[in-house]
Amino acid sequence: MENHHILHCSCASRISLLFLALCLLFITNASAFNLTTIKFDEGYSSLFSDFNIVRSPDDKSVRLLLNRLSGSGIISSDYYNYGFFSAKIKLPADYAAGIVVAFYTSNIDTWEKNHDELDIEFLGNVNGKPWRFQTNMYGSGSLSRGREERYRLWFDPSKEAHQYSIFWSPINIIFYIDEVPIREIVRHPAMGGDYPSKPMSLYATIWDASSWATNGGKEKVNYKYEPFASEFKALVLEGCRVDPIEQISSTNCTDQIARLISQEYATIKPEGRNAMKWFREKYMYYSYCYDNLRYNVPPPECVIVPTEKERFRNTGRLREKMRFGGSNRRHRRGRNSRQRSRNSAASSGSGKEVAAAAI
């Protein structure tokens, strides 16, 4: 059975988009992850602007609002020493220019100078133009070595909720959308500390990035349409939980990490590889691995895929221009109201490098 789907998907580029989406659905249903969803209260806390955080009566979903007063954010109540982080997210519809919705892991509040981070960041757009998103990784404060990739989506993320996941183990990192692997980073010894390896929290935020998110800052958030709401549900936090107040290093995570890397989502199977190839060839429009102006030697974890590479110039950008604009300058958000002391984490991002690479 599964083989039929694989065959169909491997000739991806020749078939219609709708058919492909169905095809992916088949694949992913055939190997659905075994996930346990939690209530907000079982794993999350408010990060900033409580007044803009709206929890559902059953506490299984939460809406993060952005209005003219503030954005808002939530954070996992514990750190995770490796883990799998997932949520079904629905982005604001209508006029989303200037808005950023982020779903990411970080430990900047504890390791301000050498923090780790794994990002999924959605960048809003003007009416009629699609949301875009980027993934990124930092290890031990490697802010001068951004590892961004940028993509479009094969659906409208403001129409219904889709599942977005970050898998992080000592061996590899995988970003998923609806169980389609879209990016894998396999740990390479030469990465050294650039591979995230200290416990991280999971964050979800919505905020005003008018100065850069859409068309290089030309299109601002329009508060005539406030509040902008991003919904998060099917919340999953798996891995070795580490209480931030206790000594983080005193928790023995050996068994939990072994359990994590034995899960379905820890390894990409051949059908997943096909789906990933399809996604990257069709929807990726920037990769640091192909940006030879930025890195004349691609960072050690880069796997140069000839069919991907031929689509890109040596700036890491597509040879053929896509029909939407917008630059992606790195920016940093975050303020917090939790008991442990958190830094405001202002602009830790590598703005310059990314600005240079912006579409």
Ligand X SMILES: *[C@@H]1O[C@H](CO)[C@@H](O)[C@H](O)[C@H]1NC(C)=O
DSSP, res 223: G
CB nearer ligand X, residue 262 or residue 296: 262
CB nearer ligand X, residue 42 or residue 310: 42
Q: Which of 128, 255, 262, 320 binds ligand X (CB under 6 A)?
A: 255
Q: Which stretch binds ligand X (CB under 6 A): 203-211, 248-256, 285-293, 331-339?
A: 248-256
Report the alpha-carbon distance of residue 98 to residue 344 in Å, rounded: 21
Q: Which stretch binds ligand X (CB under 6 A): 16-24, 146-154, 251-259, 295-303?
A: 251-259
- What are the beta bridge partners of residue 237? 85
Q: Which stretch binds ligand X (CB under 6 A): 182-190, 228-236, 247-255, 293-301?
A: 247-255
DSSP, res 38: B
CB 292 within 8 A of CB 314: yes
CB nearer ligand X, residue 78 or residue 219: 78
Q: Which of 3, 16, 34, 247 binds ligand X (CB under 6 A)?
A: 34
Q: Which stretch binds ligand X (CB under 6 A): 45-53, 102-110, 228-236, 252-260?
A: 252-260
- What are the beta bridge partners of residue 225? none
CB nearer ligand X, residue 31 or residue 252: 252
Which residue in this structure is represented by tokens 């029909």?
A: 323
What is the DSSP code string of 221-240? --GGGPPEEEEEEEEEEEEE
CB nearer ligand X, residue 18 or residue 258: 258
Q: Which of 16, 247, 250, 254 binds ligand X (CB under 6 A)?
A: 254
Report the alpha-carbon distance of residue 338 to residue 344 in Å, rounded: 12
To ligand X, the closest distance from the beta carbon of 274 in angstroms equals 24
Q: Is 320 in the site for ligand X (CB under 6 A)?
A: no
Residue 209 tokens, joined: 């990035």
The CA-atom distances, in angstroms, between 110 and each of 106, 140, 205 are 9, 12, 19
Residues with active-site annotation: 117, 121
Q: Is 247 in the site for ligand X (CB under 6 A)?
A: no
Which residue in this structure is represented by tokens 């590899």?
A: 172
Q: Is 31 in the site for ligand X (CB under 6 A)?
A: no
DSSP, res 321: P
DSSP, res 359: -
Rg (CA), the chain: 19
- The size of the chain, in residues, is 359
Q: Is 250 in the site for ligand X (CB under 6 A)?
A: no
Q: Is 3 in the site for ligand X (CB under 6 A)?
A: no
Q: Is 252 in the site for ligand X (CB under 6 A)?
A: yes
- Which stretches of the chain bind ligand X, using CB under 6 A? 34, 252, 254-255
